[in-house]
Chain A
Amino acid sequence: MSAKTLYDKLWDNHLVTQRDDGSALIYIDLQLLHEVTSPQAFEGLRLANRKPWRISSNLATPDHNVPTTVNERKNGIDGISDQVSKIQVMTLDDNCDEFGITEFAMNDIRQGIVHVVGPEQGATLPGMTVVCGDSHTSTHGAFGALAHGIGTSEVEHVLATQCLVQKKMKNMLIRVNGELSPYVSAKDVVLAIIGKIGTAGGTGYAIEFGGSAIRSLSMEGRMTVCNMAIEAGARVGLIAVDDTTIDYVKDRPYAPKGEQWQQAITAWRDLVSDDDAHFDEIVDLSASDIKPQVTWGTSPEMVIAIDKAIPKAEEQTDATLKESYARAWDYMGLAGKTMLSDIQLDRVFIGSCTNSRIEDLRIAADVVKGRQIAKNIKEAIVVPGSGLVKAQAEKEGLDRIFIDAGLQWREPGCSMCLAMNADKLGNGEHCASTSNRNFEGRQGFGGRTHLVSPAMAAAAAIAGYFVDVNELVKTDTSVTH
C-alpha cells in the first residue's frame, strides 16, 4: 500500500462513494450548528419534509449574536436588545427543540463560540469529519480531524444525508522547525505563514502543519494555527495526533470512556502522515525568524513583523497588488505613518475563536498584570470563548487582573470579532484585535482592525500603540495610581 498523508487517511476513512465525475460523498461524524447559518437549512428541511439523518451527530450553540455584557446576559434571550438578533437566537432554540438536537443555549455554562465549545466538550475527536456553517471550522483540524467550513445549503445537505459532496483536495505541508522566541505564539506563526504564502496560497489544498515548532505547541496553540488556515485560502488545516492531542481529549465530557477509550487511542495513533507520503507542495519556515506580527492593512496577508516599516503601494510591482495596497492604505488611514508604532490605537479586543481559550487569557493577563491601560484606549475588552473558559479564568483570578488593569471582562461569544452584536468599532477607529479577519468593516463600519496575538494585544492596551511585547515586559512600567 502506498504511503498516505494524514489528509489521505481521513479521506479514505470517510469515503462513502466515489462518483465517476470526480466528486465523492464523504460521511460526516459531527456537525456544529450556530444561529447565523442554520435557520435557512432547517427551513429547507421542513419545506422538503425531511428529517435529520442522525440527530446525535449534531451539536448547537448560539455565539455570533449574543450580547457580552453581564446586564444583557442575565435576562437570557429576553436580554438581547437587538430584535433581529433575538429572533435569530430564538430560531436556533426552536429548531433544536423541534428536531431534538442538543443545544447549549444562551445561559448554559457550556455555551460559547462553536469552535471553542466542540473541542472543550470532547465533541471534536481525532479522526472525525467535522463540519459547521462557518469557515473557521478548520480549527478542529488541530485534533487530526478533517474539518470543513460549509455553506448553508451544505448544512442542510449534511442534516439530511449525513454526507458532504466533496472533491479531494491537494496536499500541502507547512513545516515550522526550530524554537519560538519568548512571547512569540501560535498566532504569530500563522500570521507569518499567511504573510509568506498569501490569502490564496492554500486555495484548493488541505494544509498540514508540521515541524518541531508546531509539535511543541499546546492544543490551544494548534487550534489557533488551524483556525487561520482559511485565511491562507485552505478550507482544511491539519495537525497530526500525538500525546498532546490525546492528553487534551482524555476525560472530556463527550470523549470515549473505558474500553472504547483504549480502542480509540489505538486508532488515533495512526493519524499521522506516513514518512514517505507525497505532498503536492511543501513550505518551510524557521521558527527562530518569526517575530511578533501585526497586520497593517485590510487582508490578513498584509502583515509584518513589529519592527518592520509598513510597505508602500508604490513599491509594489504587481499592478493588482499596487491597487489593493493603495486602497488599504487609504482605508486604514496610514498616510504619513511609517512604523506600526505610529498608529494611535482606540480599542483592544481579546477574544474570538482564534484566541479566546484559557491559555490566551493567561498570557494576556500576564502582560497586563500590575499595569494600566493607556489613556487613549477608549475600551479594551476581554471576551472568553465559552462559559467554561470564563469560569476557569475566574478561578485563576484572571478576571481581577484584567479589571484592575482597566480592561473589561465580558460574557462569552463572538463579540467584536465580527460585530454582529453591540461590540464594535466606531468609524475610523484602530483596534488591536486577536481575531482573524481585518477586512474592511469587519469589526464595525469604517473600523480599522490590526490582527495580533493576545500578548501583543495586551501590550498594545498598556502602551496605547503597538510595541514589541518583549520590550514592554522588560521595562518595568508598573504604574501606581
Chain B
Amino acid sequence: MRPFTQHKGIAAPLDLANVDTDMIIPKQFLKSIKRTGFGKNLFDELRYQDEGQADQDCSGRPLREDFILNKTPYQNASILLARRNFGCGSSREHAPWALDDFGFRAVIAPSFADIFFNNCFKNGLLPIQLTEEQVEQLFQEVQNNIGCEIAIDLEQQQVSTDSGLAFSFAVDEFRKACLLNGLDDIGLTLQDEDKIHAFETRHKASSPWLFAAKN
C-alpha cells in the first residue's frame, strides 16, 4: 500500500450530505474484476449528462458543467471536502478505489459511514473527521479562495491552510501506523499466526460443529 505521510493539494468542496457509495461509483462499473480504472467514473451520474456504461471511453461524454469536479481547477483536486455521513450505503471498495484513481488522497467530512471509513485506510486514502464547524470553516475558505490548498500532516494529525486555519484530528493508532508505513494488513496479522492457531484449537474444542466438514 502507498504510504500517507504529508499531503498538500487543492480541496474540492462537495456541498452534499449523505453522499452514498452508489453516487460515488454507480453499480454498472462494479463489474470490473480489477482494482484500477474507476477514476473516470467517479461520481458518474453527477459528473456526466448521459448514462455511463462499463468499459466506455469517457472522453467525449457530455459533462454537467455545474458539478464541482468539472470546474477548474477542481479537475486537479486531491482533497475532497464533504458534509456529514459521507460514504454511506454499500461495502463496495470500488468507492475508495475510484476516489484514489481520480487523484484524491484524503476526504474531509464531519462524519463517515463505518465500512467506507474502514475501506479508505486499506487503500492509502485518508478520511479525516472534523467537527461540523471546522468543516464549515474549510468550506468557506475554499469557496472564497478558489483553488486554495489544504495541507495534511498525518504524523502531527493536523489539517491546515495557508491563511492560518489549523485543526487537529483524531486517528486510531493502528491505522495511523499502517498508513504512515504503507503496511500490508495481512502481513501484520500473520505475525500473530500462532495466536490464530491457538484460538482455532480452543474454538474447535468448544464448538466442534463449526468445523464439521461441509458436504
Question: A residues engaging B (CB < 8 A)?
Answer: 14, 16-17, 19-23, 25, 27, 29, 36-37, 39-40, 43, 48, 50, 53-54, 56, 59, 64-65, 82, 84-85, 87-88, 91, 102, 123, 125, 127-128, 133-135, 137, 149-154, 156-157, 160-163, 165, 167, 199-200, 203-204, 230, 233-235, 253-254, 256, 260-261, 263-264, 267, 299, 320-321, 323-324, 327, 418-420, 427, 437, 439-442, 445-446
B172 nearest CB across to chain A (Å): 6
Q: Are A40 and B34 in contact (CB-based, < 8 A)? A: yes
Q: Are B23 and A441 in contact (CB-based, < 8 A)? A: yes
Partner of B172, one of A21, A25, A267: A21
Closest residue of chain B to A84 (Cβ to Cβ) is B31
Q: Scan B160-182; emit 1 where CB is below 8 A from any A CB, else 0.
A: 00000000000011110100000
Closest residue of chain B to A86 (Cβ to Cβ) is B31
For the complex, is B133 an interface residue (Cβ under 8 Å from A)? Answer: no
* Distance A85 CA – B175 CA, assembled complex (angstroms): 34
**Given A37-B92, A161-B186, A235-B114, also A153-B174 (CB < 8 A):** no
Q: Are B200 and A27 in contact (CB-based, < 8 A)? A: yes
The 10 closest A-B pairs by CB, nearest first: A256-B209, A21-B173, A153-B122, A39-B33, A151-B119, A151-B93, A445-B51, A152-B93, A21-B174, A135-B91
What are 10 A-B pairs at a CB distance below 8 A? Answer: A14-B203, A85-B31, A88-B32, A154-B119, A233-B85, A253-B215, A320-B83, A437-B20, A441-B26, A442-B27
Q: Scan B57-93; emit 1 where CB is below 8 A from any A CB, else 0.
A: 0000000000000000000000000011100111111
A105 nearest CB across to chain B (Å): 15
Q: Are A56 and B113 in contact (CB-based, < 8 A)? A: no
**Given A21-B177, A161-B186, also A154-B122 (CB < 8 A):** yes
Binds A, one of B4-12, B151-159, B191-199: B191-199
Query: Which residues of chain A are within 8 angstroms of B211 by Cβ–Cβ distance?
Result: 56
Q: Are B190 and A161 in contact (CB-based, < 8 A)? A: yes
| Residue among B32, B90, B119, B208 having the largest count of chain A Cβ atoms under 10 Å | B90
Query: Which residues of chain B are within 8 angstroms of A43 by Cβ–Cβ distance?
Result: 33, 35
Query: Which residues of chain A are within 8 angstroms of B189 by Cβ–Cβ distance?
Result: 25, 157, 160-161, 163, 165
Q: Are B172 and A87 in contact (CB-based, < 8 A)? A: no
Q: Are A25 and B212 in contact (CB-based, < 8 A)? A: no
Q: Scan B25-44; emit 1 where CB is below 8 A from any A CB, else 0.
A: 01110111111000000000
Q: Are B210 and A125 in contact (CB-based, < 8 A)? A: yes
Q: Are B27 and A418 in contact (CB-based, < 8 A)? A: yes
* Distance A264 CA – B83 CA, assembled complex (angstroms): 47
For the complex, is B134 an interface residue (Cβ under 8 Å from A)? Answer: no
Q: Are B33 and A91 in contact (CB-based, < 8 A)? A: yes
* Distance A127 CA – B122 CA, assembled complex (angstroms): 28
Q: Are A151 and B122 in contact (CB-based, < 8 A)? A: yes
Q: Are B31 and A65 in contact (CB-based, < 8 A)? A: yes
Majority-rule SS of A interface residues: loop
* Distance A340 CA – B209 CA, assembled complex (angstroms): 50
Partner of B186, one of A88, A157, A230: A157
**Given A135-B91, A149-B91, also A48-B186 (CB < 8 A):** yes
Q: Are A420 and B118 in contact (CB-based, < 8 A)? A: no
Partner of B196, one of A25, A29, A263, A427: A25
* Distance A187 CA – B129 CA, assembled complex (angstroms): 32
Interface size class of B (residues with CB under 8 A): 35 or more
Q: Are B203 and A27 in contact (CB-based, < 8 A)? A: yes
B64 nearest CB across to chain A (Å): 13
Q: Are B18 and A127 in contact (CB-based, < 8 A)? A: no
Q: Are A88 and B185 in contact (CB-based, < 8 A)? A: no
* Distance A299 CA – B22 CA, assembled complex (angstroms): 11
* Distance A160 CA – B188 CA, assembled complex (angstroms): 12
Q: Are A200 and B91 in contact (CB-based, < 8 A)? A: no
Query: Which residues of chain B are within 8 angstroms of A264 by Cβ–Cβ distance?
Result: 207, 209
* Distance A214 CA – B68 CA, assembled complex (angstroms): 45
Q: Are A439 and B93 in contact (CB-based, < 8 A)? A: no
* Distance A22 CA – B176 CA, assembled complex (angstroms): 12
Q: Scan B123-160; emit 1 where CB is below 8 A from any A CB, else 0.
A: 10000000000000000000000000000000000000
List 10 other contacts, CB 8 Å, given A163-B189, A441-B22: A25-B192, A39-B33, A50-B186, A65-B31, A135-B91, A150-B115, A153-B119, A160-B189, A200-B18, A439-B22
Q: Are A203 and B28 in contact (CB-based, < 8 A)? A: no
Query: Which residues of chain A are within 8 angstroms of B20 by Cβ–Cβ distance?
Result: 299, 437, 439-440
Q: Are A420 and B213 in contact (CB-based, < 8 A)? A: no
Q: Are B27 and A56 in contact (CB-based, < 8 A)? A: no
**Given A36-B30, A125-B210, A440-B45, also A133-B91 (CB < 8 A):** yes
Q: Are A167 and B172 in contact (CB-based, < 8 A)? A: yes
* Distance A17 CA – B189 CA, assembled complex (angstroms): 10
Partner of A163, one of B51, B93, B196, B210: B196
A164 nearest CB across to chain B (Å): 9
For the complex, is B14 an interface residue (Cβ under 8 Å from A)? Answer: no
Q: Are A160 and B190 in contact (CB-based, < 8 A)? A: yes
Partner of B45, one of A50, A85, A327, A445: A445
* Distance A85 CA – B185 CA, assembled complex (angstroms): 30
**Given A153-B185, A161-B186, A445-B45, also A420-B172 (CB < 8 A):** no
* Distance A445 CA – B96 CA, assembled complex (angstroms): 22
Partner of B115, one of A56, A149, A253, A256: A149
Closest residue of chain A to B193 (Cβ to Cβ) is A161
Query: Which residues of chain A are within 8 angstroms of B89 by Cβ–Cβ distance?
Result: 135, 437, 439
* Distance A86 CA – B48 CA, assembled complex (angstroms): 26
A263 nearest CB across to chain B (Å): 7
Q: Scan B85-123; emit 1 where CB is below 8 A from any A CB, else 0.
A: 100111111001000000000000001011100110011
Q: Are B113 and A203 in contact (CB-based, < 8 A)? A: yes
Query: Which residues of chain A are within 8 angstroms of B122 by Cβ–Cβ distance?
Result: 151, 153-154
Q: Are B114 and A23 in contact (CB-based, < 8 A)? A: no
Q: Are A125 and B186 in contact (CB-based, < 8 A)? A: no
Query: Which residues of chain A are within 8 angstroms of B210 by Cβ–Cβ distance?
Result: 29, 125, 128
**Given A27-B196, A420-B30, also A134-B90 (CB < 8 A):** yes
A247 nearest CB across to chain B (Å): 17
| Residue among B55, B113, B123, B186 having the largest count of chain A Cβ atoms under 10 Å | B186
